[in-house]
Structures are given as structure tokens and as C-alpha cells.
Amino acid sequence: MTPSPSLFRLLRPASVSIVGLSADQSKHGGRVLSFLRAAGFEGSIWGVHPRTPAVEGVEMFPSLEEVPASPDAIVLAVPPPSIPGVLEAAGEKKAGGAIIFSGGFAETGAEGAALQDRVLDVARAGGVRLLGPNSAGIILPGARTILSFLTCLERPIAEIRPGPVGLVTQSGGTGSFIHNLAADRGGGLAISVSTGNEADIELGEVFAALVDEPDVRAIALLLETVRDGPRFIAAARAARAAGKPVVACKIGRTRVGQEIMRTHTGALAGPLRTFEAAFESLGIASVRTPAELLDVAEVMARAPLPGGEGVGIVTHSGGAAVMLADRAGELGLSLPGPSPDLKSRLAPLLQMGAAGNPVDLGGIVSRPERYGEAIRLFLGDPAYDLVIPVSTPHPSAHSAGRARELTRISRGAREPLPNLWLAGELGRAGLEILREEDAPVAENAESLLLAVKGLVRLGVMKRAESADASSVEAPAPDAGMMKRLRKRRAEGNLNLSEAESKALLGELGIPVVTGEAAASPIEAARAAARIGYPVVLKAISANLPHKSEAGGLRLNLRSEDELRRAWEEMMSGLDANEPGVSVEGWLVEEFAPGTEMIIGSVRDATFGPMVLAGAGGVLAEALDDVALAMAPATEADAARMIASLRGRRLLRGFRGAPPADEGALAALIARLSRAAAAYGGDISEIDLNPVTYSGGRWLAADALIKLTPIK
């Protein structure tokens, strides 16, 4: 995904013009100049100021038109009202791009938004790319390029080092924090780009550009939102194909956070859940804090992908073993127990320890070499595709030797060996050795396990893609069905009744309960006789989505007398509970009790069609127990969704109920996801609540479909 030439010029400039440059190094222009000089920038630097003040070592010009060549990057250190005029001149000079540090634009209200629109129009007319407003700029240590004013740059310039992670952030200050974290541990970032308001260049475009950056081995994203979903998705897939792991920290996770940003399936698929589902579907590791973002990205940048899902953990601390086992289970990591053969091999290495997974070696003061021996045993066992060595400073004198042993083991291993170093200052020497050897290491258990989860997930996806390259492709829609859906949309009648919804689902290959429409009690009785008692009676109404609450549903009617009584009661009850509701008819359906689930799809404005699954029908909403994935999803994706649900136990024969077929449910979810992907432009929502496992099959007992309005 090669970036556009103008974006490339901005990210890797050979010439920089600082507009508004003065000799005052406390101002943005002066700070950028001082940081460029300190870094040893080797390109041309031109200053622009109408009064052409004397700035040591820089040729000054009264206007941008008078600089001697077309600058690749322009730093706009001028007040917002002056920016449109400068950009007009930039267009005439055929400049590459410009960075707007200042605020006072769309984030301030209507007047600022109008100025931002004007700035963008001028830039586009001249072919100049814009980074910002409210951007904190670009830091590219390997190319000695610093186009930023951030306080992290006040460190000794030797501490602004390159590293394996490329960062794209919508928060400049948080980017400064991450640079400081990296510097404090003796590392750095390959590149960082702050996108700010994203009037022009947005996060997804820079994300895509970093896929082609040779020094970037993993990509970290700190984001509030995604403005261009298709570009973001394409960038994520390109990064995966290039073998570059991606880690994302989504901020604005709560309602309060969303308000600060100002900015029945549909309700369950909330904004945060949709983001996290998209990250999971795209193979992006998700974290909650900026510190975790750097930790996880650095581990994933340095560790190869595992060949399977089995994780082994070697510790010499019982407490650490318990903690890691608990959290690994919560994250869905597989910790296979040691085989009898492995247990027998481990037994001589234990000193009041336990031969499990995690293995606790117990005391290792007298024979520290047992630690490396245990790790080699795990690496030699085919059950383990990734092994986590866990080190504490006991004893601290062994820390450096242990680190050297770990690097030797890692060089000869096919499996990833991400280290959890819980040694603090007493083990600092060992930690520094691991980092100098470019070993994957974290000092925080949560970060390390999130990185392992991300590596395992990426490995699963890469193997699936190798086995079936078409598994993630959306199927081609049926032309006739598309024509009918678009005709219905054009009429503005977007809510399909249950009968219409089920008829459409049948065409899409989604099994539904057997049923017939009836216009009178006599027709209902005849339909029930054909279907066979017991039956269900439902009101058909496009504006009555929740029938049970309104009195429009009766279950388990076992005779014609019960059916007629239910008809009469429902007619009067609907008039009382839902005055003015339009009842178009009645459905008589087979009564198919059983284990209940909710599945559905919703079209997200950013990521497109998503598929949803929840346990227990109404329990999914009551307990907020649902899982989402981007559509189309594979059956393996659907199986992971089911496995993540707390209510999964209901599928396994809860309290004497027969177990339900999870494989068939995963196949049904995948089938629905393919339909959602194929008709995502026409269908905005499918709600199957519930689907029931009855008589050895999954059936949609209730269904509603909503079509997408024509804009």
C-alpha cells in the first residue's frame, strides 16, 4: 500500500520550510528548528517570516513564494487566520504537504469548522496534503527528521532513538508520553505521526503508509475514531499480509468519554463493542492504556508467530503461576497440561514445585540451570507452540546469567519465547541484556499475555488464509433479490413484517419455524391442523417489533379451542396495549421450544456489516452477553464468538436440558454473516431473537429485518 507521492514527501522530507519562524525558541517554529538541528537533519531548511528576522544558520524569506525550491514539508507556525493564504502560496510552489500545529478549528464550533473547511479547500485546490489541525507533527528518528514541538523532544537527542514500532495517534500529548516510555527503557519508535483533527490526512492513510516503512515491524494505533472504514480495513489486511502486527488502543470507551469527544441487535452492537469486534476480526490486538499499547506492540514486533495455539509457561513462583493461569484462561489462551512423559522429565527439576502448566520449579537458588532445562523441555514438546519464561529476581545475582541463557535458547528455538520479566531493579542487568539482544520482553503480566493472545490470533488467521484464501470474501448477491430489495427501499417501507422477514430468510438459506399466515380464526385453525399442535399465534405488524410485551404472542397452544381463545384475547389486548397499531394478519407457527440464542447482523457506519451472537435470547440483552465479528465470518470465527459467551454453558445441557449442536450454530452464524455481507448495502439489520435448538436443528423462531434508507 504505497503512500501517495505527496504524503511520502511529507513523511520523509528532503526539505522543510518553517512559516512563521522567529529567533524565539519557545515558540513552535523555533522549537521545530532547534529539534531538527539537534537531530542532525541533512536536508534544506528555509525560514519564512514577513519581517525576515535574523535566525542563526537559516536563510530567511519574507514569503513562501520566495523560497528557492518546492518544499517537501511546510511547518505552519502562524495564527489560524493566516493559514489559507500560506496554503495558496504552497500550492503555487507545488509543496508536498503542510503541518498545522494550532487549534481553533472544527473542535471549537461552527466558526472554527468553517475555517477548517476553507483551509482544506485551499489545500486541495493546490494539491497540498494537510496534517492537522491540532497535529503534534512527525518524528522519524532514523531519518533525523523531527517536525514536532512535543516536550518529549527536550530529552537529550541521543534518547530519541529509532525502534521497531511505528505509532499513529490522534492524541499528540499521549504520543509524547509513549515516546518518553520508550526512551526510559532504552528504546524508541521507528516513526510517530500525530493526525489531530484529520481535516485531510487521517489515521487510516498513515496506517497504510507505515505498512511500507521498512523500519516498522509493528504498528501501534492510539485512536478515538476511524473516519474511513474501508481504508482502515484495507490497511489492517495489508499489515497482516506483510507480517506486521497491529495493536490498537481505543480511547473514549465509556459514555462519559464519548461525550467528551463530542462527537434489538443494533442496541446490543454498541460503538465500543463494534470497534473491538472489528479489531478481533482484522487480527488487531486491543489494549486499554497507552502503556499497554507500547508494551504489546514491542513484544509483537520482536516475536515470530506461533505455529499453533498451545501456550506453555515456566515459572519459579507459585503466585505468578496462579496469576498467569487465571488471566490466560480469561483471555481464552490454551494452556495444555503436561503429558505424563513431560511430567516425568520435569520431576527431577522441581524443588517443592509443581509439574503443571504453568510449571512452578520452586526454589532454584542452588541449581539455577534447572530454569533453562525446563524451558527446553517445554520447547521440545509438540503440545506447546509458544513458551513464556517468567523471571523474578530470586536470586538477583543470577539475573544476568539467566538472561543470557534465555537469549541462547531463543536463538535455537522455532517457537516464540516472549519473556515476562518480573525482576524490578534487582534484575535490571538481565532486562537490559534481553533488550540489547532484541528479545521480546515485558515487565507487566497483562501486557505480555495480551501480546501472546495477539500472536496466537494472528497465527490462526495466517494459517486459515493459507488454507482457504476465499474464506473472508463476501459472496456475490443474487441480482433478482437485490432488485426487489431496492424497490422496497425506494418505496420507503423499510421495516419488514415478521412474515416478510422469514420469507426473505428462507431465500437466504436461514431455517425458520414452519408457519402460515391467517386472516381469521377459521384460517388459523386450518393452518394449525396442517402444522400440527402445539402451535404459536403471533400478530403480524411491521410496527410491533416486541410482540410479547404488547400482548401479540401466545405460545404452546395445544388445541383449536385454545387457539380461538388466544385469538380473541390478543385482538382485545392489542387494542388496549398498542392503540393504533396496524395488524396486517396473524402467523400460526409450530411450537419449537428448546435452547435459545440470539443471532443477527447490523450495518456499522464505519466497518460495514457485523454479525452478532448472544446466549439465551432475552438473557443476551439482560446480561449484556454478546459477541460480534465483521461479516463475512468463517465457521471458525463463529465458533470463537460462541466460546466467548458466558452463557455458553446453556448449550451444553444446562440443568438436564439436552446439549445443543454448537457446530451447527456456528454454521448458521457464518451463513447469516455471508448474507449480511452480500446484501450489506440494502439490509441494515437482521434480528433473529430467538433462534431455538429444537428437534435436533436450529430454527429462527422470531425474525425482523430492516432495510437501509436511500439517501
Q: Note the pLDDT tens digit of each residue in 32-58.
A: 999 999 999 999 999 999 999 999 989
Give yes or no: residues 699 and 566 share one domain: no
Do 319 and 462 lie in a common domain? yes
The verdict on residue 485 lying in a domain is no
Q: Which three cell numbers stand for residue 146?
A: 523531527
340 and 247 inside one domain: no
Which CATH number characterizes residue 673's domain?
A: 3.30.470.20
- Statement to judge: residues 459 and 335 lie in one domain: yes
Query: What percent of the chain shows pLDDT beyond 90?
Result: 79
Q: What pLDDT score does 260 carry?
A: 40
- Total number of domains constituting the chain: 5
Stretch (H or E) spanning 165: strand 165-169
pLDDT of residue 558 exceeding 60, the answer is yes
Domain carrying residue 686? 595-707
Asked if residue 283 is part of any domain, the answer here is yes
CA-based nearest residue to 500, from 428, 585, 610: 585
Express each pLDDT in 208-235 by its tens digit.
999 999 999 999 999 999 999 999 999 9
Strands 246-250 and 285-287: parallel
121 part of a folded domain: yes
Cell output for 655: 440443568
66 Cβ neighbours under 8 A, 6+ residues apart: none
Quick check: 610 and 602 in contact, CB under 8 A?
yes
Strand order in the sheet with 285-287: 145-147, 137-140, 191-194, 165-169, 218-223, 246-250, 285-287
The span from the CA of 626 to the CA of 63, in Å, is 59
pTM (global) more than 0.85? yes
- Quickly state the pLDDT bin for 4 (edges 50, 70, 90): confident
- Cα separation, 672 vs 687, in Å, equals 11
- Strands annotated E in 496-652: 515-518, 535-540, 553-557, 585-590, 595-604, 608-615, 626-630
Is residue 489 assigned to a domain? Answer: no
Residue 619's pLDDT band, with cuts at 50, 70 and 90, is low
383/433 same-domain check: yes
390-422, pLDDT tens digit by residue? 998 767 888 899 999 999 999 989 999 999 999
pLDDT at 545: 58
Q: Where are the alpha helices (DSSP H) in 223-270?
A: 229-241, 255-261
Residue 320: give its domain's CATH number.
3.40.50.261
Cell of 649: 454453558
Q: Please check whether residues 124 and 2 belong to one and the same domain.
A: yes
Q: Residue 70's closest CA among 44, 52, 50, 49?
A: 44
Contact (Cβ atoms closer than 8 angstroms) between residue 173 and residue 194 = no
Cis peptide before 133 (omega within 30 of 0): yes
Q: How does pLDDT run across 376-393, given as a tens digit for each residue? A: 999 999 999 999 999 987
Task: Express each pLDDT in 443-458 by its tens digit.
Answer: 999 999 999 999 999 9
Q: Do 338 and 439 have their domain in common?
A: yes
Write the CATH number for 60. 3.40.50.720
Q: How far is CA 656 from the centre of its chain?
A: 38
pLDDT for 15 = 98
**How far apart, in whole angstroms, are the C-alpha atoms of residue 345 and residue 336?**
16
**Which of 306-310, 319-323, 576-580, 623-627 comes out lowest in average pLDDT?**
576-580
Residues 318 and 461 in one domain: yes
Which DSSP string corresponds to 472-527? TPPPPPPHHHHHHHHHHHHHT--B--HHHHHHHHHHTT--B--EEEESSHHHHHHH
Q: Is a pLDDT exceeding 70 seen at residue 310? A: yes
Same domain, residue pair 606 and 573: no
By three-state DSSP, how is residue 248 classified? strand
According to DSSP, the β-strands at 311-315 and 359-360 are: parallel
User: Residues 479-504: what's their mean pLDDT?
Assistant: 93
- State mean pLDDT over 148-174: 96
Mean pLDDT of 618-624: 67
Domain end (from 543, 564, 591): 591
Query: Could you tell me the end-to-end alpha-carbon distance of the chain, in angstroms, rounded to an integer?
Result: 31
Spell out the residues 6+ positions from residue 37 whose beta carbon is closer than 8 angstroms to its own. 57
Confidence tier at 293 by pLDDT (50, 70, 90) = very high
- Do 354 and 453 fall into the same domain? yes
Q: Out of 546, 571, 591, pick the residue that ends a domain.
A: 591
The bridge status of strand 585-590 relative to strand 515-518 is: antiparallel
Q: Provide the pLDDT for residue 326.
A: 97
Chain mean pLDDT for the chain: 91
Average pLDDT over residues 592-605: 94
Q: Which of 103, 133, 163 is the last residue of a domain?
A: 133
Check: CB of residue 247 under 8 Å from CB of residue 218: yes
Range 508-533 average pLDDT: 95
**Residue 425 falls within a domain, yes or no?**
yes
pLDDT tens, 627-654?
999 999 999 999 999 999 988 888 988 7
* Averaged pLDDT, 162-183: 96
CATH number at residue 549: 3.30.1490.20
Q: Would residue 660 be called left, alpha or beta, if left means φ above 0 and alpha means ψ between -120 and 50 degrees?
A: beta
Which is nearest to 415 in space by CA: 451, 388, 438? 388
**For residue 100, what are the β-bridge partners?**
76
Same domain, 14 and 42: yes
Q: What is the pLDDT of residue 552?
A: 81
Q: Per the domain annotation, does 141 fall within a domain?
A: no
Inside any domain, residue 674: yes
Count the Cβ atoms, other than its own, within 10 Å of residue 261. 12
Q: Which residues have C-beta within 8 Å of that of residue 209, sequence separation ≥ 6?
A: 1, 3, 7, 8, 11
138 Rama sector, left if φ>0, alpha if ψ -120 to 50, beta otherwise? beta
What SS3 class is residue 607?
Answer: coil
Residues 1 and 117 in one domain: yes
Which of the residue ranges 301-315, 646-660, 670-684 would you say has the lowest mean pLDDT? 646-660
Q: Is residue 476, in this structure, part of any structural domain at all?
A: no
Rounded percentage of the chain residues whose pLDDT exceeds 70 = 93
Q: How many angstroms separate the CA atoms of 134 and 103, rounded?
A: 5
What pLDDT is recorded for position 469? 52
Q: What is the C-alpha to C-alpha distance for residues 15 and 45, in angstroms, rounded to an integer? A: 6
Which of 85-94, 154-163, 347-356, 378-387 is predicted least confidently? 347-356
| Alpha carbons 107 and 109: distance in angstroms, whole number | 6
Of the candidates 59, 61, 64, the residue with the CA atom closest to the CA atom of residue 91: 64
